[in-house]
Structure 1
Amino acid sequence: MSTTVHKQARRIMRLPQVLAGTGFGRAWIYELMKRGDFPQAHKIGARAVGWDSLEVEAWIAQQLGEVA
């Protein structure tokens, strides 16, 4: 039996994608960022921020016990 690993390409995740991926609300994401317990958002425009998808996916994997 073969196991296929699908690695997604690095991309910028906007807030709705982060919310959908974590199941958290906006206020909690920002609280976790303030505490240093969630990847920091990066300024991507004059009035826009985004998250590095690899950082968010690594954080999710850690929460699920997939990463030591």
Structure 2
Amino acid sequence: MAELSELEAGAPERSTRLIRIKEVQYRTGLGRSTIYRWMAQGRFPKTVHLGGHAVAWAEADIEFWIAARLS
């Protein structure tokens, strides 16, 4: 219910952007195989299923993962 009142009060809502594998590879510098292997090992964020065989990652999850590596 608090979420509804924040929206009604005009609080800015941040939408989560979904990014595909090519952008994830570009941002992280990792290859496709490494990304999927690390996902299976729990070392990389999981995908969001879009339907069929299409998947993407939440941009915020990737940004957080990168920031954790830099600290």
Question: TM-score under structure 2 normalisation?
Answer: 0.76
Runs of 4+ in 1 over 6 A off after TM superposition: none
C-alpha deviation, 1:10, in angstroms = 2.3
Query: Judging changes above 3 Å, is the alpha-carbon distance between structure 1 residues 61 and 9 closer, same or farther for their aligned structure 2 residues?
Result: farther
> How is 1:28-43 mapped onto 2 (pairs within 5 angstroms)?
28-43=34-49
How many residues align structurally?
58
Q: Tell which structure's C-alpha radius of gyration is larger.
A: 2
Inter-partner Cα distance in structure 2 for 1:9 and 1:24: 26
Alignment match, 1:56: 62
Greater helix proportion: 2
Inter-partner Cα distance in structure 1 for 2:63 and 2:15: 11
Q: Percent identity?
A: 38
Cα root mean square deviation, aligned: 1.3
